[in-house]
Amino acid sequence: MTMENISANRSFGGWQRQYNHYSETLGCSMRFAVYLPPQVEQGEHGEPGIKVPVLYWLSGLTCTDENFMQKAGAHRIAAELGVAIVAPDTSPRGDGVPDDAEGAYDFGLGAGFYVNATEEPWAKHYRMYDYIVNELPQLVQQEFPVTDRWSISGHSMGGHGALMIGLKNPQQFCSVSAFSPICNPMQAPWGQKAFANYLGDDREAWRQYDSCELIKIAKSVPPILVDQGSDDQFLTEQLQPEKLVRAVASSGLNFELRIQPGYDHSYYFIGSFIEEHMRFHASHLNK
């Protein structure tokens, strides 16, 4: 696996970098961003750098690897805690990758929904589940000074991705968190559109990617933290956190959902609580 460094910026004593690489899983060139905290270069007293744990961040509809890194304000706290952040793109892209005919923001490019598509013309490239769970972590482990302690978080479509991937891979992630996740995509317009196109009409095939369905059958899951703004414009129709609460009820799982009064769906909300999520993840990554 080879990759090309396309940007590098000093940030809070560490480095924000972007890379291009050819993804065999997705059949196209992909860009991702990584924040490496100062600890990888040098210890506090001049001792050699160390390997650090990783937080994978999955972004929402219309995003690339850049939204979170530029808008969330996570670098300062990642630098303090000694946690690397990896932010992939939200779909395959490039020549030959099909898009929604109308260029809709909620399907196709920028809207991979973190599933492995089985329907044409999507099945060849739209394999974001395998990319996030397998190919990208392998590349990150190979190329960066990181440990095998990983957590996962995300926003909206990426919140769905983080919850779903964490629930399906409890051994791989030390903790899971989400901002404003699409909790029950099988029952939400964004999810129904994506799943019908990527997975076909058989709703049984949708269950494997729906957090509410997965949580009902989960035996052990990593600790989960969810934040949801009470004034989120997508709350009732698309996000439906009450369904997640209902699915978790009486399960005994380590799960907390907090409704944050007055907050909306934007990165101002993420920026307001990212420090708490980073500290939550660090407490589990460093166990």
Ligand X SMILES: N[C@@H](CCC(=O)N[C@@H](CSC=O)C(=O)NCC(=O)O)C(=O)O
Active site residues: 156, 232, 265
Q: Min. distance of Cβ 204 from ligand X in angstroms? A: 25
Please identify, using beta-carbon distances, which residue of 149 and 155 lies nearer to ligand X.
155
Residue 61 within binding range of ligand X, rule CB under 6 A: yes
Query: Quick one: which of 16, 67, 153, 184 contacts ligand X (CB under 6 A)?
Result: 67
Can you tell me whether residue 166 is helix, strand or coil? Answer: helix
Please identify, using beta-carbon distances, which residue of 22 and 105 lies nearer to ligand X.
105
Residue 121: both structure tokens together: 């013309």
Can you tell me whether residue 81 is helix, strand or coil? Answer: helix
Residues with Cβ within 8 Å of residue 111, at least 6 apart in sequence: 61, 62, 90, 91, 100, 104, 105, 157, 194
Q: Min. distance of Cβ 238 from ligand X in angstroms? A: 8
Can you tell me whether residue 259 is helix, strand or coil? Answer: strand
- Nearest residue to 84 (alpha-carbon basis) of 154, 140, 133: 140
28 beta partners: 23
Residue 267 within binding range of ligand X, rule CB under 6 A: yes
Residue 183 within binding range of ligand X, rule CB under 6 A: no
Assess whether the previous peptide bond of 121 is cis (omega < 30° from 0).
Answer: yes
Residue 60 within binding range of ligand X, rule CB under 6 A: yes
Residue 192 within binding range of ligand X, rule CB under 6 A: no
Residue 64 within binding range of ligand X, rule CB under 6 A: no
Q: Min. distance of Cβ 16 from ligand X in angstroms? A: 16
Q: Min. distance of Cβ 159 from ligand X in angstroms? A: 8
